[in-house]
Structure 1
Amino acid sequence: MSTASTSWFAGAATLFSGCLLTVVAAQALDKAPLRDSWTAQETATLASMRLKEAGPRPVDLSNSYEQRADAAALGRALFNDTRLSRNGQVACASCHSADKQFQDSRQFGQGLGTGERRTMPVMGAAHSPFFFWDGRKDSAWSQALGPFEDAAEHGANRVQLVKLVQAHYKERYQAVFGPMPDLGKLPDDASPAGTPSEHAAWAAMPESSRDAVNRVFANMGKSIAAFERNISYGESRFDRYAEATVAGDGRGQEALSRQEVRGLRLFLTKGQCVTCHNGPLLTDHAFHNTGIPPIDPASPDRGRADGLRQLLKDEFNCLSRYSDARPDQCGELQFLATNDPGQLAAFRTPSLRNVAERAPYMHAGQLTSLEEVVEHYARSPKAVLGHSELAQPGEKHADRPAIRLSAADIQDLAAFLGALTGPVVQAD
């Protein structure tokens, strides 16, 4: 071998060795010791809270159309159509605005009138077994129908809505759901949920006409649910931190600041937040009375206690003739406890994902900041109606101790909640 060849090989070997050392050094840096140590149980809890653990969106057996792209396209159009309201100015998107986390940032929902509760976002709806703060609906498609006939929201009536679909969406509707049923001669305005005159007009309609209108109305909800199914949360800095912790990636733990990590430790321990805000969507999908003060103490909101009764008699629930599910597939509805005193003034646990972007807080916007929310749980006031699940200071509580947080703890917890914000993702 020539001297030149020997020099070339020696140089190449040196270069390769240097590159290899650089790669090894980079890998060593990437796998630096964990900045923050956690117990095995805490690490397992963090792993369970990663968004990816939510898995595929559950299938709603009561809606056979929810995974169809043409149904979602129709649903998007209906979601944004202001004609589907009494005054032609209110759409679903009026309260569920895409640029406001699919809610409205108001204390109360605002349509034709002012509602009595906060607007809930639609992200993650496919994972929830119940809807609205009181759980009076058991599917996304049934939930979508409620505001249409609510006097404070769209203020429309069922026949008016179906006529609008027939006039403006007939071809698109039929491409999804098949031929539109023969609606016969319908009055201008009629509904079982409207004004006295609309009630009377509805009662005077033949049963076959009422059923045909209900069928189209239900399908409106099913197409809107198909659209909403494609709206979801994206990963947050917390998810990156949890992933790094599980993987033993010290550098990845820099996704959260020291203060945010202190808040996370409180979230999992003495703050007791994880008791209800657990799993990948940071909610147990249940209903709790935590002593939130009512807007009107003289007439407090009964929450789940009333919502449960409404759900069981809802003409569009999972067991209804307009559901696509078999009765044996409606287990959530068939095995509900109807005599649980804990349901009184209990409200649905919201997801904490993107919570920093959704002030004000609680079911009626009673609290204006995350610090106020944490302070409420630290105070643990007695409930005005029903019994709060939170332990009172000095009380012997069967399930949990009282929550004791310092002023610094409250700031740390609020800081951590800000790390739960990620993008809102809309699938095509």
Structure 2
Amino acid sequence: MTSAPARAARRRLLQVAATLSVALVTAGVAQVRTAPLRDPWPAEDVATLAAMRLTQAGGRPQDPSNAYEQRTDAAALGRALFHDTRLSRNGQVACASCHAADRQFQDGKPLGQGLATGRRRTMPVMGAAHAPFLFWDGRKDCLWSQALGPLEDAAEHGGNRVRLVKLVQAHYSEQYQAVFGPLPALGPLPDDASPGGTDAERAAWAALPDASRDAANRVFANMGKAIAAYERPISYGPSRFDRYAQATVAGDGRGQEVLAPQEVRGLRVFLARGQCVTCHNGPLLTDQAFHNTGVPPLDRARPDRGRAEGLRKLLQDEFNCLGRYSDARPEQCGELQFLATNDPGQLAAFRTPGLRNVAERAPYMHAGQFSTLDQVLQHYADSPSAVLGHSELARPGERHAGRQAIRLTPADIQDVAAFLGTLTGPVVQAR
């Protein structure tokens, strides 16, 4: 079953293609057809390139579950929390430790490193406001809820809920109340208590009155909403590819010179026999869906279940869009309400990462399995069988619904890797 994000991405692509087709039949067609293009493209590829321009991303979609995401005072509080190492058990780990502004808002490591080593690669913050699901397994459905997970994760911040709430009381009370209003009545709280964490922390949490737990949850959720307000405007800036795509759509042959011939060859492979655009489409070059492509697990004896496990966690999460700490109405949580929970294709499937700035974000895949883009492309050319679940990739000689085997020569791989380098642009943090 095709996921809702994938269907939406295809609809957007078809809409842009239809709009461009109309344009080609109107007065602009003469310019597109007669301009001295260095690199001619068929109309369907021009439509695809048009849809891939960063300008087509539009404004950041509003998250109805976070009523504070566009407030500058919330973003200021979120920025302070994002960089505060006191939110970790050892006082040395902040959100910015793994999402560093000078490293593409990630850490450049195969696996995230906080108090301990995590199970997966750190994902960048840029463009996260456009994603319907967060993390490699999609276990969060909103940016503010995503921000909460690492705070209590034993391998990341290793914090516990009551200690985090007390930190807000002690150090951020004035900023918090300027955004969210008076701190709720928390009552007497132990030093450490959390629904996760150690046995003692869980027992202390269970012993709290319902009203105290709810009040602590409310402050905790608002911490996430403030961090999301800070993260929301962090985005990608235009790249050389965007200038090339715009020049191609406009019929500007001189503008096409922004890409070298090898990079254009790589783009042609990307759109055609490489089949990369099947999943890496749209302005952020992701269908926002989940796929099993046979990426080898780090531990073959205990392979990562990916989206199949992430779905379970998402539906049980008290901080999801339908939860009591969300600001959304139930009808505004459509993505969550219409999830396919019995799709075998979700087993060992992982979220399609966007490819913008990808050349600056080695290593690759959900656990940093590949060091270079050449290795990633060779993986798709080899199309190995999945250790867990079933790979969507077709193998040579295999009958496969909707796909053909990916056949890439060594020169193709070098060309596509060169094209991927053209997707690098600035990281934009301004609101």
Counterpart pick for 1:326 among 313, 316, 329: 329
1:127 equivalent to 2:130? Answer yes
CA distance in 2, matches of 1:329, 1:246: 35
CA distance in 2, matches of 1:359, 1:313: 33
Which TM-score applies when normalising by structure 2?
A: 0.92
Give the residue type in structure 2 aligned to 1:47. A
CA distance in 2, matches of 1:121, 1:397: 33
CA distance in 2, matches of 1:346, 1:40: 33
Instruction: Write the mapping of 1:216-295 to structure 2, written as runs, cut at 5 A.
Output: 216-295=219-298
Counterpart pick for 1:58 among 45, 58, 61: 61
1:404 equivalent to 2:404? Answer no
Runs of 4+ with deviation above 6 angstroms: none
Give the residue type in structure 1 aligned to 2:413. I
State whether residues 32 and 251 of structure 1, in contact with CA within 8 Å, keep that contact through their aligned partners in structure 2. Answer: no
Aligned residue for 2:86, secondary structure, equals coil
Find the counterpart in structure 2 of residue 86 from structure 1.
89
Instruction: Write the mapping of 1:23-422 to structure 2, written as runs, cut at 5 A.
Output: 33-422=36-425
Aligned residue for 2:423, secondary structure, equals coil
Which TM-score applies when normalising by structure 1?
A: 0.93
Find the counterpart in structure 2 of residue 7 from structure 1.
none
CA distance in 1, matches of 2:80, 2:382: 46
Find the counterpart in structure 2 of residue 21 from structure 1.
none
Two-structure CA RMSD over aligned residues (Å): 0.9
Gaps of 5+ in 2: 1-30
CA distance in 2, matches of 1:355, 1:253: 22
Give the residue type in structure 1 aligned to 2:169. Q
CA distance in 1, matches of 2:282, 2:196: 37
CA distance in 2, matches of 1:300, 1:221: 30
Give the residue type in structure 1 aligned to 2:427. V
CA distance in 1, matches of 2:416, 2:218: 48
State whether residues 75 and 220 of structure 1, in contact with CA within 8 Å, keep that contact through their aligned partners in structure 2. Answer: yes
Aligned residue for 2:87, secondary structure, equals coil
Give the residue type in structure 2 aligned to 1:374. L
Aligned residue for 1:372, secondary structure, equals helix
Find the counterpart in structure 2 of residue 3 from structure 1.
none
CA distance in 2, matches of 1:78, 1:183: 21
1:17-65 Cα distance to aligned partner (Å, 9 max, x none): xxxxxxxxxxx9xx96110000111001000000000000000000000
Give the residue type in structure 2 aligned to 1:369. T
How many residue pairs are counted as aligned between the two chains?
399
Deviation of 1:220 after TM superposition, in Å, equals 0.2
Aligned residue for 2:385, secondary structure, equals coil
1:291-340 Cα distance to aligned partner (Å, 9 max, x none): 00000000000000000000000010001000000111110000000000
Structure of larger gyration radius: 1
Counterpart pick for 1:427 among 416, 425, 430: 430
Deviation of 1:113 after TM superposition, in Å, equals 0.4
Aligned residue for 1:419, secondary structure, equals helix
State whether residues 235 and 422 of structure 1, in contact with CA within 8 Å, keep that contact through their aligned partners in structure 2. Answer: yes
Deviation of 1:103 after TM superposition, in Å, equals 0.1
CA distance in 2, matches of 1:259, 1:230: 34
Deviation of 1:193 after TM superposition, in Å, equals 1.1
State whether residues 66 and 222 of structure 1, in contact with CA within 8 Å, keep that contact through their aligned partners in structure 2. Answer: yes
